[in-house]
Structure 1
Amino acid sequence: MGVIIRVLLVATSLVLAMLVQKYRNLARSLPAPPLSVTEYWGPGSADNYKEDPTVRPFDIKVDPELIADLRAQLSRPLRLQETLEGVGFEYGFNSEALRNVTAYWRDTYLVNWDAREAYLKQFEHFETQIQGLRVHFIHAKPQATEGKKVIPLLLLHGWPGSVREFYDLIPLLTNPNPNSEYIFEVVAPSLSGYGWSQGASKVGFGTAQIAVVLRNLMIRLGHNKFLLQGGDWGATVGTNMAALFPQNMLGYHSNSCLDFHPLAMIAKTIRTMFPNSLLNDEERGFVRNSTEEITLILQESGYFNIQATKPDTIGAALLNNPIGLAVYILEKFSSWTNAEFKKLPDGGLTKRYTMDALLDNVMIYYITNSITTSQRIYLEIISSTNVILERVHIKSPAGCARFKWDPIVTTDFELQFKFKNLIHSTYHSNGGHFPALEIPQTLYDDFIAFVKKINL
């Protein structure tokens, strides 16, 4: 019996030693993969390509014929399948709500298109050529700088958003705040393939490659060091940038902090199984148990599976199809703002946003024909480069703001495996996935609190 016990002890020790070694291997930071900062992503061959570094004003004016044609399309009879009795948005976009959106879009919004276009033009828009791609961006400089520290800020959106998300946030960042010593020079680009920014013509253009392009943009504008704030894909592009170019990062702030490090995924599984043991009282009010987590994933991940496998198929279905495009985009502004809104016949779309703001965002996709190129990022993210980057530690100062109704909330327990300098971690009882558009003041206040902790 003594021999058997000794054998078991030795075997147990060996297993534990192997597990410890495996943990250490997974926990260590991998070196960032070497990515070319000049790789060509435009159409055709790079042999005759010569980059034009000029930064030019960009006119986002829309051809009046396009607006007239859109009104004509929206005037056609809507042949919709009636929504089931007593159902809101549980089965998707409610048919009666769609009729109302279409009528408002046609008879109010587009009738006043000149005013909407002027609103979208209130900031200065620019374009430049980087790695074979046209890059569009808003450049908003501080209104007054006396007594303030001016900090460059790269502001990044995600899908199905656009630079329109930032129209109420930018003035907060660029106008003097008596309660803050900081003011910001904001660069808000359309992600490559989104809105007025050209999509890649080559396979393999994912978030890491977008990070290279946008870092090159900031360098071109004279900002060798800058802050970054991002949500959704903007958050992923931001972490990729922080991993690849830590020398350029003053700090990283996100309202969509995620961690797909292998150990983080294990930690998340443990956290959902034993929430009472691993979460404090504040965190328990934000995260879901394992059943709720799985249910939400099944309900909300259908679009992801389609776009991560056949983005051009769904893209073709939405191109030149304004009703389909609006339904596909606006449904996310319902369920990702508050999951409870799906019980409402109008999806709660105007509870937190104006219909004009929502349609501005839809229009940016429509007038630029960018829905297909915006969705390809979901397929490109599944690459060896991004797998490696998930295991590259982020050592720049980081801040993570969570909002109550965001579909995905990641705790510090999970984030610790990637973010090694998480100096700011907050939970807000209001807001969802699009806080810059929904509650810009709250997002601004959180960002300022983060910047003060960096003490630039």
Structure 2
Amino acid sequence: MWLEVLLASVLGFVIYWFISRDKEETLPLEDGWWGPGVKSTAKEDESIRPFTVETSDEEINDLHQRIDKFRMTPSLEDSRFHYGFNSNYLKKVVSYWRSKFDWRKQVETLNKYPHFKTKIEGLDIHFIHVKPPQPPAGRSPKPLLMVHGWPGSFYEFYKIIPLLTDPKGHGLSDEHVFEVICPSIPGYGFSEASYKKGFNSVAAARIFYKLMLRLGFQKFYIQGGDWGSLICTNMAQLVPSHVKGLHLNMAFNSRNLSFLTPLLGQRFMGFLGYTEKDVELLYPFKEKIFYNIMRESGYMHIQATKPDTVGCALNDSPVGLAAYILEKFSTWTNSEFRNLEDGGLERKFSLDDLLTNIMIYWTTASIVSSQRFYKENFSHGLGTLKHERLKVFVPTGLAAFPCEILHSPEKWVRSKYCKLISYSYMARGGHFAAFEEPTLLAQDIRKFVALAERQ
């Protein structure tokens, strides 16, 4: 026991020493060119152009022909989702996709919000921009940039947008009303992919900052999970004076040594600053952290090393693409769903919503470029990039959803995000918070903004 106390004390000192050396620094706001060839000397076209999602008989017929030719692999008996996507349930998904899913109708749904494109650093950047139907009298709506991750898309935000832009119409207070901007990360969906190596989260953050300036916003709120969390964190590190507040539903902190403390055992968690809820979400350590990360990280190793190889297969087979992506919407929503024959997918999502997200990847042929984002961000190794070593000094809020892949206690988050003003243990939900629990996430965003406005 005394040895464990000594180890805890030494580790605590090392963590304090390691973290306390940081100064309030920002990332350099550089420039980039990700388009084809050499950057032209002519001024870049900064116009913002309306965009409409479209489809055609040819596109739909090609999809159906590929689905019809898919070769199904039988599942092992009683394998459920332990080996990945269960092919018995995949038959149902494919049957629905082929016979009942109406892509034309979903295209109409996608177009219910205004879409736009604009050129930034050589790439066509796609985004939706939704303004309040009735702006509050005498007040301007608060600009809010919301950034998705992988394997999601801008469509994840379709259910949360009305709760933020029209709260009164949904029985909520209109004290805080937002106009919401949801871009597609370059290489995802309708945003053009980089033609050059090296396009990482910092480059995406800089492009989205330029997008907000182009839309006329000098100060704004930002929100994200998954890659969106890292991109928004980088924005706060690049231009903190422009970011009024940063709200996350997933926290990146690869340089924090605090993640080692659970190894010391549950009995010291209180001494080390963890709550009972943290203990509940972190233990048993082998199951909740070690085995869960091992189970769920195989895709990351592939995409961070050889994304184009697996991407060739996924870009050629719509059913393969669906299985690869939808498996994440099962186990990342709740790791216990791997014990179910259907992966629990329809407990939280509709097949129409899930397949719409798949179709965004399929119709834009963007799965390969979306996977390359892993290689560009991880190729140098964790903890080696400057932004990983820098703290964040803008007002920050975190919504900690209980079924997130890795729980981040407030202690871990605060070690990087120095002005953490809101930390919420959410009642339910997992990785795809805006898609799965839009009401809960909207409530937490509103709570955070109320606190940030008082700063």
Which among 438, 441, 450 is matched to residue 440 of structure 1? 438
**Shift of residue 349, structure 1, vs aligned partner:** 0.8
User: Which residue is equivalent to 1:355?
Assistant: 351
Structure-to-structure mapping, 1:43-442, within 5 angstroms: 43-48=36-41, 50-76=43-69, 78-109=70-101, 112-147=102-137, 148-177=139-168, 178-261=172-255, 264=256, 266-278=257-269, 279-292=274-287, 293-382=289-378, 383=380, 387-442=385-440
Shift of the 57–168 alpha-carbon distance from structure 1 to 2, 3 Å rule, reads: same
Distance in 1 between residues matched to 2:318 and 2:432, nearest whole Å = 22
**SS of aligned partner of 1:182:** coil
**Shift of residue 282, structure 1, vs aligned partner:** 2.1
Distance in 2 between residues matched to 1:419 and 1:141, nearest whole Å = 30
Structure 1: which amino acid aligns with 2:201? Answer: T
Contact 1:193 1:373 in 2 (8 A): yes
Distance in 2 between residues matched to 1:22 and 1:403, nearest whole Å = 27
Shift of the 272–413 alpha-carbon distance from structure 1 to 2, 3 Å rule, reads: farther
Structure 1: which amino acid aligns with 2:309? Answer: T
Contact 1:32 1:388 in 2 (8 A): no
Moved more, 169-178 or 240-249: 169-178
**SS of aligned partner of 1:389:** helix
**SS of aligned partner of 2:30:** coil
**SS of aligned partner of 1:359:** helix
**Shift of residue 167, structure 1, vs aligned partner:** 0.6
Structure 2: which amino acid aligns with 1:61? Answer: E
Query: What's the TM-score once normalised by structure 1's chain length?
Result: 0.91
Distance in 2 between residues matched to 1:365 and 1:199, nearest whole Å = 13
Shift of the 335–56 alpha-carbon distance from structure 1 to 2, 3 Å rule, reads: same
Shift of the 48–285 alpha-carbon distance from structure 1 to 2, 3 Å rule, reads: same
**Shift of residue 81, structure 1, vs aligned partner:** 2.4
The one-character-per-residue Cα deviations of 1:10-35 (angstroms, maximum 9, x if unpaired) are xxxxxx9xx87992576313733424
Moved over 6 A (4+): 19-22
Structure 2: which amino acid aligns with 1:90? Answer: H
Structure 2: which amino acid aligns with 1:59? Answer: T
Contact 2:332 2:430 in 1 (8 A): yes
| % identity of equivalent residues | 40
Distance in 1 between residues matched to 2:406 and 2:295, nearest whole Å = 13
**Shift of residue 146, structure 1, vs aligned partner:** 2.5
User: Which residue is equivalent to 2:5?
Assistant: none
Contact 2:67 2:319 in 1 (8 A): yes
Query: What's the TM-score once normalised by structure 2's chain length?
Result: 0.91
Distance in 1 between residues matched to 2:301 and 2:146, nearest whole Å = 27
Distance in 1 between residues matched to 2:312 and 2:24, nearest whole Å = 39
Structure 2 portions without partners, runs of 5+: 1-9
Distance in 2 between residues matched to 1:34 and 1:190, nearest whole Å = 24
**Shift of residue 219, structure 1, vs aligned partner:** 0.4
Aligned positions, number: 432
Distance in 2 between residues matched to 1:290 and 1:49, nearest whole Å = 57
Tell me how large the CA RMSD over aligned residues is: 1.9
**Shift of residue 191, structure 1, vs aligned partner:** 0.7
The one-character-per-residue Cα deviations of 1:131-184 (angstroms, maximum 9, x if unpaired) are 000000000001112345510000000000001100100111110334241100
Distance in 2 between residues matched to 1:247 and 1:69, nearest whole Å = 49
**Shift of residue 48, structure 1, vs aligned partner:** 4.5
Contact 1:259 1:410 in 2 (8 A): no
**SS of aligned partner of 1:423:** strand
Structure 1 portions without partners, runs of 5+: 1-15
The one-character-per-residue Cα deviations of 1:298-355 (angstroms, maximum 9, x if unpaired) are 1110000000001111111211210110000000000000111111111111010000
Larger Rg: 1
